[in-house]
Amino acid sequence: MLKSLSSLALGVSLVLGTAAFTEAYADSKVATVSVPYVYSKIPQSKAAEDKVNKATASKAKALDKLQSEGAALQKALGDSKLSADERAKKQRELQLIETELQVKYSELREEQQKLMFKEKTEIDKKIQAAIDTVAKQNNVDVVIRAESLLYISNDSIDLSEKVIENVSRAK
């Protein structure tokens, strides 16, 4: 009984909260921005990706070299002329290389993610500043992320292109 009363109270508060939100913003100018779309179009995204790739290029090259060594060992293991001792030695070498590859690959991915997070944080700040600027220029009271909306009318205001222009100019 108590559980159903608390569920009822929660339902009523959600309805009242939604009604209060709707009433509070009834006369407000609302716009949307598609942040993933903005990310896909601004030059800073590609520049960040290039910067991360450049910063980790030497590790990626070392990983490629190690993979080549592993492939050469794998090919050598296919030689039927190998003695049992040579075959066992090459198999151990191959296992060591495979283990080292896994570790180095994980380290590379971790470093790339860390660097990309840092770059993305800077881009996020630029996008937010652009949203603020564009919203003020267009006298918009509320900006909502377009990807979180279930429905939006055709006559809604989408600021995404203007945000892209603003961020692109900022470089």
Of 6-15, 60-69, 123-132, the one with minimum mean pLDDT is 6-15
Model confidence pLDDT, tens digit, residues 24-51: 556 788 999 999 999 999 999 999 999 9
Residue 80 has pLDDT above 90, yes or no: no
Model confidence pLDDT, tens digit, residues 92-143: 999 999 999 999 999 999 999 999 999 999 999 999 999 999 999 999 999 9
Q: What is the number of structural domains in the chain?
A: 1
| Nearest one of 55, 54, 38 to 134, comparing CA atoms | 38
CATH of residue 129's domain is 3.30.910.20
In terms of residue numbers, what domain contains 158? Answer: 2-170
The per-residue pLDDT for 25 is 56
Angle between helices 57-77 and 43-55 (to 10 degrees): 60
